[in-house]
Structure 1
Amino acid sequence: MEQRVLLCDTTLRDGEQAPGVAFGLPEKEKIARALADAGIDELEVGVPAMGKAETRIISKLVALHLPVRLITWNRAVLSDLQASYRTRVEGVGISIPTSDQQIKHKIKKNRAWVLEQMGHCVHNAKKEVGYLVLGLEDASRADPAFLAEILAEAQKLGVDRVRFADTLGILDPLKVFFTRQDLVKISGVPLEFHAHNDFGMATANSLAAVQAGFQALSVTVGGLGERTGNAPLEEVAVALKYCLNQSVRFDLKRLNSICSMVSLATDRLIPRAKPVIGEDVFTHTSSIHIDGIQKDFANYQTFPPESVGRQHSTSFGKYSGIKTILRLLKSKGIDFDQETMDKLFITILHQTQRRKKPMNEDDIMRIVGDAC
């Protein structure tokens, strides 16, 4: 039986690193409850080392006893881990830089120091928490030989999962699939892929990672996150099910309400054409498409909109064609002669160009009413 891919949400940690985003306790609690109720596998809920206020919020989330594993993010520093322990969180993530660029030019250390500090922190964490994720920062730019060394050491130390982070979002799907299979083959620890979206490939890279053998994926609601954001939960979850035919525990019908909740909390509008959750995703305007879905939804349906709590709809624009208008009027029991229909169609085209947005049935019927 094929193993289900874990969806590990980091909206409350990496998502909160998006410019201008800061969740208060009520917002964090509401988002955490919604994700847990919908069936998310894991929640990364913050960085206790940020201070007492952050630690207090995380402790209150832990006290909710949600039906999901909560973890925190930490540097490979004992003081970070001690702050996490005080929250009584179930698991911790320990992040280490793995590229020579970051080892030499960010922390001013060497590879030997990274391995030593990793071992020291993992030994300490194993005494305090029940689950441990080792995060490999900037792994996409790291020496494969060094990554192999880290993976071997992680297995010896008893790490539960290793997170491969494409921190700068520089990978592409083919590179993920063909070069990261080697890591899967040598790793005795389950691997998680943490994608960033700098080149718009976070979702595609996440799917490629699954095809390469990764067993967990980092996601955020709406793709929220640093710079261009992370792999969007809604895109990854739906694509796992309908592109890769993977079993998904997450309730896809909850995606719109959760994404709307986060949109409101961050004061960030959802783009109309945003995959899965955008207003226009299941709206058809072209007369060819409208005719096609009326004959059979499968003609222009990527996946059933009902599966995410949506439904097909039509709008009227430049390419809707006069047949689409005739079909609507016929459904309403209205019949015009050809001359009236031609004038009506021209009026609708002018209105569409003036409004710069699609028109729905009510808009059309108002124009018809004015013409009568």
Structure 2
Amino acid sequence: MSAPHIIIDDTTLRDGEQSAGVAFTLEERIAIAQGLDQLGVPELEVGIPAMGTEEREAIRCLATQGLAARLLVWARMRDDDLLACHGLGVDMVDLSIPVSDQQIARKLRRDRAWVLATVDYQVRAARQMGLEVCVGGEDASRAAEDFLLAVLQTAAQAGARRFRFADTVGIMEPFGVHARFQRMRAHSDLELEMHAHDDLGLATANSLAAALGGATHLNTTVHGLGERAGNAALEEVVLALRQLHHVETGIDLRRFPALSKLVENASGRPVHWQKSLIGEGVFTHEAGIHVDGLLKDPANYQGVDPALLGRSHRLVLGKHSGTGAVMAAYAALGISLSRAQAFLLLARVRQMAVSDKRPPSEHELAQWYQQLGEDGPKVSAEAVFPALHPSSEGLTCS
């Protein structure tokens, strides 16, 4: 059986911008859309027409950019929301409606029968407007299974193309997601889309589980930007699908660093130093045993090839470095060190790491080497590191 092909429907420009305090300018929205398009992201959810005239004009502008990606907008299942979607030049509307008893009763003040009737009416109305329809099941993760299947059946009969399973409050785990999608797939021929939130840190895992359970589409955002704890991160989902499950999305992440920086600046949300795949520290190495292994063969400590993300390994000198790292750093400067010289210079590196909380600059390394040559070694390597022998060099407790 061949691996499935998953379509990424990225919602950075809709749910990503809904992150508290985030607001993109038109120029930023165009640049982000173009960046996603250049990566090969096939679908973009680009806004909420009911927000007003300015939002609709921005959506129209995006629709004229000649993007290869299909464009979607988001709307509530209301006549006025749907009317606002008319004439925007987009391909599909995600018509969202609560499907859990909690939100049906406590948010809508309605009942299940009203929801089914509304789905039927609004989907047919959207189809008459010439729009393809994704029925967005808000709070689907808390919906009763029998009612959820009834919503899928009603949506399909009314002419919908897709159903979005929204884990709106981020409470699901991968085993439950997989089982839910298997049951929906067995019941319906609709396209099935997973919309995961990261409140429990499981958005990416839940998205992978959905893909394996029968989903055809996954929602993502750049960096996982979005409401509260955010959504499933585009870069994580795409790379994990390929590397762990041999599932292709057609997205090439080698140009992702430029898009990452663009979204970071436009959103005002700095990327954490250790953020998976894209944080500055993810492919940065200091510990001696790791650096030694990487210098011998990158596969020794490389679970993900940074080149897949347009990145490379970076070796820095610090408290946990060994002489091999020091020699490699100086070799990059065109300076060949003896092992004894590396031992002595390592003492300077470790002292700076503790006192200044940073690695030395290239200028400082060159200066230290010059001083070493001018002054000559005052002490032996054994005196500096009496307990450190080549066989145990760089060992750290992990």
Fold agreement, TM-score > 0.5: yes
Tell me how far apart the structure 1 counterparts of residues 102 and 119 of structure 2 sit (CA, whole Å).
Answer: 18
> Measured at CA, do residues 167 and 337 of structure 1 come closer, stay the same or move farther in structure 2, by a change above 3 Å?
closer
Displacement of 1:358 in angstroms is 4.2
Q: How do residues 27-66 of structure 1 correspond to structure 2 at under 5 angstroms?
A: 27-66=28-67
* Equivalent residue, structure 2, for 1:104: 105
Q: Deviations over 1:113-170 (max 9, x none)?
A: 1111111100100111342111000111111111011111122122111110011111
Displacement of 1:343 in angstroms is 4.2
* Equivalent residue, structure 2, for 1:256: 257
Structure 2: stretches of 5+ with no match in the other structure: 374-398
TM-score by length of 2: 0.88
- Alignment-mate amino acid for residue 154 of structure 2: E
Q: Deviations over 1:47-96 (max 9, x none)?
A: 01011111111111112232111111000001101101132322111001
**Aligned with 2:201: secondary structure?**
coil
**Aligned with 1:163: secondary structure?**
strand
> Measured at CA, do residues 179 and 134 of structure 1 come closer, stay the same or move farther in structure 2, by a change above 3 Å?
closer
Q: Is the 8 A contact 1:152 1:188 kept in 2?
A: no
- Alignment-mate amino acid for residue 130 of structure 2: V
Q: Is the 8 A contact 2:326 2:345 kept in 1?
A: no
> Measured at CA, do residues 60 and 327 of structure 1 come closer, stay the same or move farther in structure 2, by a change above 3 Å?
closer
State, as a whole percentage, how many aligned pairs show the same letter.
Answer: 40
Displacement of 1:271 in angstroms is 1.4
User: How many aligned residue pairs are there?
Assistant: 371
**Aligned with 1:288: secondary structure?**
helix
Displacement of 1:15 in angstroms is 0.5
Structure 1: stretches of 5+ with no match in the other structure: none
* Equivalent residue, structure 1, for 2:235: 234
Q: Deviations over 1:177-213 (max 9, x none)?
A: 2343212221221111001011111111111111111
* Equivalent residue, structure 1, for 2:379: none
* Equivalent residue, structure 2, for 1:74: 75
Please tell me whether residue 297 in structure 1 is matched to residue 298 in structure 2.
yes
Q: How do residues 184-223 of structure 1 correspond to structure 2 at under 5 angstroms?
A: 184-223=185-224
* Equivalent residue, structure 1, for 2:14: 13
| Bigger mean CA offset, 58-67 vs 4-13 | 58-67
* Equivalent residue, structure 1, for 2:5: 4
**Aligned with 2:273: secondary structure?**
coil
* Equivalent residue, structure 2, for 1:243: 244
Q: Is the 8 A contact 2:194 2:207 kept in 1?
A: yes
Tell me how far apart the structure 2 counterparts of residues 61 and 327 of structure 1 sit (CA, whole Å).
Answer: 48
Q: Deviations over 1:13-36 (max 9, x none)?
A: 101101111111111111111211
Q: Is the 8 A contact 2:156 2:190 kept in 1?
A: yes
Tell me how far apart the structure 2 counterparts of residues 362 and 102 of structure 1 sit (CA, whole Å).
Answer: 62
Q: Is the 8 A contact 1:219 1:233 kept in 2?
A: yes
TM-score by length of 1: 0.94
* Structure number with larger C-alpha Rg: 2
* Equivalent residue, structure 1, for 2:134: 133
Displacement of 1:361 in angstroms is 5.5
* Equivalent residue, structure 2, for 1:310: 311
* Equivalent residue, structure 1, for 2:152: 151
* Equivalent residue, structure 2, for 1:88: 89
**Aligned with 2:13: secondary structure?**
coil
Displacement of 1:230 in angstroms is 0.6
Q: Is the 8 A contact 1:8 1:216 kept in 2?
A: yes
Q: Is the 8 A contact 1:139 1:167 kept in 2?
A: yes
Displacement of 1:221 in angstroms is 0.9
- Alignment-mate amino acid for residue 321 of structure 2: S
